[in-house]
Structure 1
Amino acid sequence: MRTHQLVLHWIEGQLSEGKLAVGGRLPAERTLAEQLQVSRTSVREAIRILEAMGVVRAGVGSGPEAGTVVISDPTAALGSALRLHVATQHLPVSDIVQTRVLLESWAASHARPDSPELTGAAGLLEEMDADGMAVDDFLALDVRFHLALADAAGNAVVSAMMGSLRESITGYASRLTANLPDWDTTAARLRAEHHEILDAIQNDDGERAAKLVAAHIEGYYREAGVRHSP
């Protein structure tokens, strides 16, 4: 095991045993190096890895923001990894779309009608209904709308995975608009479908909401030329 992996293993153990928790701070770099009998370079390398994984945030200097603080942002790491693997074309966009359909259908069927996230989703739809909205602005609101629906299901893992999947294909969704015959027509259809999905969830009709979400996602990518096998 390389020395920075020893540091990672120790921190994982501290988290698993409850000796470290979100909001807690790691020992100072020198202290941790002496405690684990590794170099400070190994400690720094381990902390850089944990930062990239969204597990810690490292602050410099002195004061309340100094030191390495434990956080929890799994979406950042998963999203970055997926984007890179999609870029290598090892993970086809069509497969990611299909996975998104599976997750979002589940989330829509389990979303709580009284969830406060649905109020936020409704507000996003009001913004999306504005005339003359730029394509990228529309797609940015679309991302937030779908994430709000996923959050309404109350499953932290699904929310994190959804955020990662959406992040990994947001750029593709934007570029695919060039393949659409008429963006204004597509945008009008997407708006109407958004309202139908939200209405179904608010009416506690999870089965219908799941079917609407699947048709909504597949319809956009099919229109834009992305195919996937069911």
Structure 2
Amino acid sequence: MTWGQEAVSNKEKNPAQPARAYETVLTSIEADLRAGKIKIGDQLPGERSLAETHGISRASVRDAIRILDAMGMVRTSSGSGPNSGAVVISDPAIGLSATLRMHVASRQLSVADIVESRILLETWAAQSADLTRDPARSAEVLRRTSELLEAMDEPGLDREEFHDLDSQFHVLLSSLAGNAVIESMMESLRLSISDYVSESVANDAAWQKIATVLRAQHHGIHQAVSDANGALASELLREHIQWFYTESAQL
């Protein structure tokens, strides 16, 4: 059998799968986003309208909307008015983190690899931070991260609240690099192992010891960023992330 005959034979054995009905909706919405016909804040047409436009069932339209919701592309709500139905929001971290969480759960992605990727992103962001690019915004970010540090220093703070503030702190600092993709990826990496982080510390006594060290590390990182010392901030972030992962893995 020649190569051409073999290719034809394989094609006959494995015919191309027909596109799922909901994919026509996704493709159409993507095209409209690219063309600027749909923008952030716009309300998508209703189920009936989309079904008639694409010649598919309303059930298939609902499948498409659920996928867009899971991807962080729309927010859905019931009722009527400009904020009801499916409204375009575009929150990339939601879709990325949900996907990563599932693959971490299936053990196709390891927590160690997620941690290593986070180190790469955060240290790059620290090295690339430029407080002079937008001085007003940089000052606002540093003010907000300083407030987060004060909140995390509260002795009565529980673990969940601490982790939430900690996540905001790291994402805000990474935003100083001015790269929206890196910022979203970094946030998604943190969210993808949030359950692992919260479950890795066995009890409150162990957590209090770890929290004391984390607080000191956070202040050191913040000071280095405020001083525009990217090299030091990068090294402190690397030590901070590696230390917590090592400590929690041993508990």
Provide the TM-score with structure 2 as the length reference: 0.83
1:16 to 25, 34, 39: 34
In structure 2, the gaps of 5 or more residues are: 1-18
Q: Of 138, 163, 177, which residue of structure 2 is paired with 1:153?
A: 177
Structure 2 counterpart of 1:16, one-letter code: R
Which range is displaced more, 39-48 or 198-207? Answer: 39-48
Further displaced range: 59-68 or 164-173: 59-68
Identify if the C-alpha distance between structure 1 residues 5 and 82 changes in structure 2 by more than 3 Å, giving closer, same or farther: same
What secondary structure, in the 3-state scheme, does the structure 2 residue paired with 1:23 have?
Answer: coil
Ranges of 4+ aligned residues in structure 1 off by more than 3 Å: 179-185
Deviation at 1:181, TM superposition (A): 8.7
- Tell me the amino acid that sits aligned with residue 39 of structure 2: A
Percent identical among aligned pairs is: 47
Shift of 1:156: 1.1
**Contact in 2 for aligned 1:121/1:145 (Cα 8 Å):** yes
Instruction: Give, in angstroms, the shift of residue 11 of structure 1.
Output: 0.9
Structure 1: state its 5+ residue gaps. none
Spell out the pairing of 1:52-67 with structure 2 (5 A cutoff).
52-67=70-85
Q: Which residue is 1:46 aligned to?
A: 64
- Give aligned pairs, total: 226
Q: CA RMSD in A?
A: 2.0
The one-character-per-residue Cα deviations of 1:48-77 (angstroms, maximum 9, x if unpaired) are 111111112233332222332211111111
Are residues 145 and 8 of structure 1, via their aligned partners in 2, closer, same or farther at CA, if it must alter by over 3 Å? same
Which of 116, 119, 140 pairs up with 1:101? Answer: 119
The one of 130, 138, 144 equivalent to 2:162 is 138
RCO comparison, higher one (Cα < 8 Å, 6+):
1
Distance 1:182 1:43, change over 3 A: closer
- Taking the aligned partners of 1:58 and 1:138, their CA distance within structure 2 comes to 29
Amino acid aligned to 1:123:
E
Aligned equivalents of 1:170, 1:225: Cα separation in 2: 14
Query: Equivalents in 2 of 1:216, 1:199: separation in Å?
Result: 14
Task: For residue 19 of structure 1, report the CA deviation from its aligned partner.
Answer: 1.2
Tell me what 2:20 maps to: 2
> 1:27 is paired with a residue of what secondary structure?
coil
Indicate the structure (1 or 2) with the bigger Cα radius of gyration: 2
Q: How does 1:209-228 map onto structure 2 within 5 Å? A: 209-225=233-249
| Aligned positions of 1:115-126 closer than 5 A | 115=138, 116-126=140-150
2:214 to 185, 190, 196: 190
Could you tell me which amino acid in structure 1 is paired with residue 235 of structure 2?
K
> Structure 1 CA distance, aligned partners of 2:145 and 2:24?
44
Distance 2:59 2:206 in 1: 55
Q: Kindly state the Cα deviation for residue 179 of structure 1 after the two structures are TM-superposed.
A: 8.6
Identify the match of residue 89 of structure 2 among 71, 76, 83: 71
Deviation at 1:182, TM superposition (A): 4.3
Distance 1:178 1:190 in 2: 17
Identify which of 207, 212, 219 aligns with 2:231. 207
Give the secondary-structure state (helix, strand or coil) at the position aligned to 2:174. Answer: helix
Q: CA deviation at 1:180?
A: 10
Please report how far the alpha carbon of residue 32 of structure 1 lies from its aligned counterpart in structure 2 after TM superposition: 2.0
